[in-house]
Structure 1
Amino acid sequence: MMKNIFPIIILLFGNLVYAQRSKIDSLYEFKYPELKNKFFDYSDHNKVSQAKQIAKYYLQKAKKENNTIEIAEGYTLIHLNEDCPTALKYIDSLAIITKNIKGIYPTKTYLLKGNLYYKYDNLKAALDNYILALKYAKEQNDKKQIAYANMSIAYINSYIGKNAEAAKIFRYYLYNGNDIIDDYEHNQMRIALISCYLEINKLDSANILIKEGQKYAIVGKNKYDLDPYSYLSGTYDLKLKKYNTAITKLSKVYDNLIKINETNANYALFNLGKAYQGAKNKGKAVETYSKLDSNVQKSNITFPDLREAYTYLIDYYKEKNDKEKQLYYIDRFLKVDKKLDEQLQYAFTELPKKYDTPKLLEEKENIISDLKGRKRILYVAISALLLILLSLLYLYYKAKKNEKQHRKIAQDLINSIERKNVETPQATLAPMQFQNIEQVDIEDRATKTIPEDVTKFILKELEIFEKQEHFLKKGITLSSLAQSINTNTTYLSEVINSYKEKSFTTYLNDLRVDYALKRLIEDKRFRSYKLAVIADELGYNNAQAFTAAFKKKTQTTLSTYLKEIEKTQTIK
C-alpha cells in the first residue's frame, strides 16, 4: 500500500477546513484556529515555505501569550515540515511543555513521534512509540486516542504484509468510527482499506470503495484528493491484468505525486513498472525501475516490494550480458535487502527467493573477476568457491547424518506404536496410559499447598480430558482448562508439574503429538491431508507450531516420520 499517501499525523488535529484564503499580509489578525486552518491549507497545496511561516508565527504568538496548550500546538505544527533530527527536537520540547498536562498527553506526543519515525522509514521506532501511545491512551480511557494508536499500528501491519489483520482495523473505524473520526480521517480509512483489499485480492470490495471514494473526492475542494484514488484505480487495473489502462492511470498519478511526495510517487512508479512487465514492454519496465532506484537513493526510504524491482533489473542485465549494470543492481539489491531485514526483522516469505544473499555474493565475486581480470581477485574467488564447496560438503554430510538419525527415531516410534497396537488392539488414539486415580500415590507426590481431595479431583478431570481427547480443541490455555474443570490455574499448574512432570504447554503439546503419531500410522486419509489441515485438527493455529512441537517431542521431523510410515506400509 502507499505508505504515506494520507499521513496519519493529520488524524491528530480534528476537523480541518480547506477553504482558500487571500494572501496573508499580516498574521496578527488571525486567531489560533484560523492560523491552524491556514497552515493545513498551505501544507495540502504543497506551499511549504508559507506553511512554515504560519507555524513559526503560531509558536511565537503562543509563547508571547504564555499559552501552554497553544505552545504545544505550535511545536506540533512546526515539526511537520522539518527534517527528522530537527522535528525530534520540537517533539521533545512538546513533551517537556506538556509533562504536567493531563488528557491527550503524553499519548499525542508518542503518536507524533511514531508518525515521524514512520515517515522517515524507521518502522521499529515507530511501532515502539505507537505501542506506548496505545498504553497511555488506554490508561486515560481515551477512545479517540486509542483509535488513532490502533490505526497507526494497522498501517505498519499493512506495510509489512499483514493486510488481513490491518483490514479489520480499517474496516471497523470506516464503518463504526463516526463518533471518533471526522470526514477527512474517514476518507483515510477508506483508502487504507482499499489498499489492503487489493493486496489480499478482494478486488470487488476494493472496486466498490474506489468508486465511493472518487465520488467523495470530486465534491472536495482539495485538488489532490483524487490522486490516491487514481493510484488505487490503476493498481486495481493492474490486478485485473488490464496493463495498458493501468499504465495510463499510474503514469498520470506519478506525475502528480512526484510534485508533493516522492515516497508516495515511488509506490505508483513501482506498480507502473509492474504494468510494463505485464504488457511485455521490457524496455519501459527497466526504465521505470531504474528511475525508481534513483528516487530511492535520494530519499533512502525503502519498501518491501523494492526487492522485486531489483531482481527484475538484475535478470534483465544478466540476459543482456551487461555485467557492469548487473553488478550495480546486485549491490543496490544487497543494500536495500540489508536495510529491510534490519528494519522489519521479518522474513519476506512471499518475495522471490531466486536471488538470496549467498547466491548474490557468489555471483558478485564472479562478475568482479570477469570485469577486472586480475589474477589476485581470481584466486580469491577460487579460494572462496573452494571454501563454499567444503562448507557445502560438510553441511551435506551433516544433513545426511541428521537424516539417518531422524529415520532411525521415526522407525523406532513406528515400531513402538505398532507393538502397542498388537498388545492392546482396542486402544483409542489417545496416547496416554490411564491409571485409576485411586491407584495414584497422592500422599507421596502431592504438594503441601493443595488438599488431597482437590488433587484427586484434578487428576480425575485430566484423565477425562485425555480420554475424551479434549486436547484437540483449539485455543486451550491453562486458564481455560482450569475454568472448564472448576479449579484455579495455580492448583492445575502444580498438579500437572508434579504428576505429569512437565509444564502445561509441554503437557498439551505431548498429548497432541502422541495422538498424531498414532493416528498418522492408522489413518491413511489423515496422512493425505495438507499439513495445515492436520495441524488444525490437532488444535494448532498454524502448521509451523505443530511441526515445531513435533520435532521437540520426537527429535525427528514430521516429513521423515511420514516417509517412514509409507515405507513400512508399502513393505507390508
Structure 2
Amino acid sequence: MNLLQKNKNKIAFSYYEALRHIAITRLFYIEKRKGNIAQGLKFLNNLSIGMSPVYKKKQLIFFAVAYIELRDYKKGIDLVNIHLNNIRNDSNNVLYTKFLKAKETAAAYNTKSDAFINWYKDTGAIKFLDSAQKNYEKAYLLMKNSENFSAYSQSLHKSRKAQIALLRKEYDLSLSLFNECEKDSVLMEKSFSREMVWLAKAEIYTHLKKIDLAFKYLEKLTADIQKSKCSHENKLKVYYLLSINYERTGNIEKAYKYSKLSLSEIKKENVQKNAGNFFLGVYEKEEIKNRSEEMLQKNNTNLLLLFASLLLIFTIFYKIYYQKRKNKEEIINIRKIESNIPGIQPITDQKVTISTSIEDETVAYILSKLDSLEFKKRFLSNSFKLANIAKQLNTNTTYLSQIINQYKGVSFSEYVNTLRINYIITELDKNPLIRKYNIEVISKEIGYKSCTTFINAFKKRTQMTPSEYIKNLEKM
C-alpha cells in the first residue's frame, strides 16, 4: 500500500485501483486469520475510501465474510447472495473477466457453505450441513467445467466432503478422505489446508480415543502455533483437544493449562467480536448514508427529514420531561402515604436534597461508565470491586453503591454476580467447548476467587449447580 501511494502518479489509475484492491483484501485476510476481525474491517473501511463503485461491489464479499466470522450468519449469507446476483447481472464483464467469473462465483458458493457449517456448529441443525454440502457441490461443478480446474481444486473439494463427514460423526469415512488429502503434496504445501487436515485427524482420533495418534497431530499443530502460523480458530481448537487428551492420560496439570489457554482465546474472540461489530456498524451507517443521499437527490425530501429530526428531538425531550414529572409525582404520593402511617415522619425537601440527592449529570456519567465497563467485560476480573470501580469513576463507594441500588435495583455484590453468571450462562449455551472445562477453571476465569462462591451464585440464579446445568445442555 505504501509503495502504491508513492508511485500513484506513475501508473494508470485502473492498475493503481486494481493493485490497491488486492492489497486491501490481503490485509483483511491476514487479520482474519489472526482472529483480528476488527483490524481487518478497519483496513476495509479506511483504505477503501474513494474507490470506484465496481471495487466497492467487489468488496461486498469481504463484509459478508466478516459477518459470518462474527456469527451473524443470516446477514453474511444475504450479502453473499447479493454478490452472486451482481456477478450474474454483470453481462459486460465489468466486475470480473469472463475467465475469472467461474472462479469468483465458486468462491462465493464456498463462502456460503462455510457460513452454513459454522451455523451448524452453533445450533446443531442438520439442515445447515445439507445446505453447506449443496453449495460446495455447486462450487465444485463450476470449477470442474472451467479452465481453472486443477488437481488442487479436486483435493480441496475432497477435504470439504471429509469435513462434513466429520461433523456428521461418520469418523471412518472422514478419516479415509483426510488420509487421501494428506497424500496430496500440493494440498499439504499450503498452510491453511495442512492445518485443516491435521486438526481434523487430531479431532477424529480424539473421538475414537486413540490418544497417541491424536497427540501426534496436535504436536505438529503446536509447532505451527509457536511459529504464529496457526489461525485463531484452529489455535482455540488445538488447546481444547490438548486439554481433553491430557485429562485422559491423567495429566491434570497440563489439562488445566490448556483449558486456561482456550478460555483466554475465547475471551479474545469476544473482544474482537465487539470491536468487529462496531466496524460493521460504521460500514452499515455508510451504506445508509449513501442510500439516503441518493434518495434526497431523487425525491428532494430535505424538508421531511428536517421535520422528522425535529420530531425525534421533541419526543426525546418530552420523554425526559415526562419521566422527571412522573418521578416527582411518585415521591409526592409516597409522602402522602407516609403521612398517614403512625410513627413515620414525613421527609422534608431539604433533607432529601442534603442526604440522598445526587446531581442528574453525575448519575448519568456514572451509569454510562458502568455500561462501558460492562461492555468491556471488566466484571470478569477479580479486581472488579466497589472500591476499585469508585476510584476509576472519580466517586466514592457510598455514591456508587447508592446509584447501583437505585438504578440497577440490586446491591453491588448481586450486581456483579448477575453480570458474571449471565455471561457464563450465555457462553455455556453457545460454546460447547466451555462445557468440557473443570468448574474451578470456569469460576476463576470469570472472576471468582472461590469456586464455592461461584457455585452458590450460579445455583441462586438457575436453581441448579453449574455441573447440573451443563449436563442438561448436553442432553439437548
Give the structure-1-normalised TM-score.
0.43
Match of 1:119 in 2: 30
Match of 1:162 in 2: 72
Q: What residue is the counterpart of 2:408 in the other structure?
A: 555
1:272 Cα deviation after fit: 2.8
1:501 counterpart SS class: helix
2:15 is the counterpart of 1:96 = no
Task: Find the counterpart in structure 1 of residue 311 from structure 2.
Answer: 492
- Name the CA distance, whole Å, in 2 between partners of 1:252 and 1:94: 42
1:248 aligns with 2:176: yes
The residue that corresponds to 1:277 in the other structure is 206
User: Measured at CA, do residues 267 and 321 of structure 1 come closer, stay the same or move farther in structure 2, by a change above 3 Å?
Assistant: same
Give how far 1:98 is off. Answer: 1.9
Structure 1 equivalent of residue 138 of structure 2: 212
Is the CA contact (8 Å cut-off) linking 1:318 and 1:326 kept in structure 2? yes
**1:247–1:272 CA contact under 8 A, matched in 2:** yes
The answer (yes or no) to whether the contact 2:105–2:139 under 8 Å persists in 1 is: no
Tell me the C-alpha RMSD between the 2 structures.
4.3
Q: d(CA) in 2 for partners of 1:315 and 1:249?
A: 24
Instruction: Tell whether the 8 Å contact from 1:106 to 1:136 is kept in structure 2 after alignment.
Output: no
Following superposition, the deviation at residue 246 of structure 1 comes to 1.0
Aligned position for 2:320: 501
Report the residue type matching 1:94 in the other structure: L
* 1:226 alignment counterpart: 154
User: Could you give the per-residue CA deviations for residues 417-471 of structure 1, whole angstroms, max 9, x where no partner exists?
Assistant: xxxxxxxxxxxxxxxxxxxxxxxxxxxxxxxxxxxxxxxxxxxxxxxxxxxxxxx
Q: CA offset at residue 488 of structure 1?
A: 1.5
**How far apart are the structure 2 equivalents of 1:265 and 1:246?**
15
Corresponding position: 1:291 with 2:220: yes
The higher radius of gyration belongs to 1
Q: What is the rounded CA distance, in whole Å, between the counterparts of 1:497 and 1:160 in structure 2?
A: 32
How far residue 552 of structure 1 moved from its aligned partner, in angstroms, is: 11
SS in 2 for 1:296: helix
- Asked if the contact 2:156–2:187 (Cα under 8 Å) also holds between the matched residues in 1, the reply is no
Query: Where does residue 111 of structure 2 map in the other structure?
Result: 192
Corresponding residue for 1:322?
A: 251
The residue identity in structure 2 corresponding to 1:274 is E
Aligned AA (1:192): T
Match of 2:227, SS state, is: helix
Q: What TM-score, normalized by structure 2, do the two folds share?
A: 0.50
Aligned to 1:128: 42
Amino acid at match of 1:206: A
- 1:152 matched to which residue of 2? 62
Answer yes or no: is the 8 Å Cα contact 2:102–2:142 preserved in 1. no
Q: Which has the higher helix share?
A: 2
- CA distance in 2 between counterparts of 1:276 and 1:162 reads 31
Trace 1:11-90 onto structure 2 (pairs within 5 A): none
Distance of aligned partners of 1:163 and 1:228 in 2 relative to their CA distance in 1, 3 Å threshold: farther
Asked whether the 8 Å contact 2:246–2:252 carries over to 1, the reply is yes
- Secondary structure at the counterpart of residue 233 of structure 2: coil
CA contact (8 A) 1:154 1:169 kept: yes
Structure 2 residue 160 is matched with structure 1 residue 307: no
1:151 deviates by: 1.0
1:225 is displaced (CA, Å) by 1.2
TM-fit CA distance, 1:189: 0.9
Residues in 1 aligned to 2:151 and 2:409: alpha-carbon distance in whole angstroms: 62
When the two structures are aligned, how many residues end up with a matched partner?
290
Q: Which residue in 2 is equivalent to 1:43?
A: none
Q: 1:341 to 1:301 in 2, by over 3 A?
A: farther
1:294 Cα deviation from its structure 2 partner: 1.8
| 8 A contact 1:217–1:226 mirrored in 2 | no
Unaligned runs of 5+ in 2: 121-127, 277-301, 328-373, 376-403, 419-476
Residues 107, 139 of structure 2: 8 Å contact kept: no
Question: What amino acid does structure 2 have at the position aligned with 1:119?
Answer: I
Q: Provide closer, same or farther for how the CA distance between residues 105 and 163 of structure 1 changes in structure 2, counting only shifts above 3 A.
A: farther
What's the CA shift string for 1:352-406, capped at 9, x where partnerless? Answer: xxxxxxxxxxxxxxxxxxxxxxxxxxxxxxxxxxxxxxxxxxxxxxxxxxxxxxx
1:446-525 pair list within 5 angstroms: 488-501=307-320
Q: Which has the higher contact order (CA 8 A, sep 6+)?
A: 2
Q: Is the 8 A contact 1:160 1:304 kept in 2?
A: no
Q: Percent identity between the aligned chains?
A: 14
| SS across alignment from 2:158 | helix
1:145-194 Cα distance to aligned partner (Å, 9 max, x none): 12221112222333343333322222332344131341111111121111
Query: For 1:165 and 1:285, how far apart are their aligned partners in 2?
Result: 36
In the TM superposition, residue 245 of structure 1 has moved relative to its aligned partner by: 0.8
* One-letter code aligned to 1:251: N
Distance in 1 of aligned mates of 2:201 and 2:406: 50
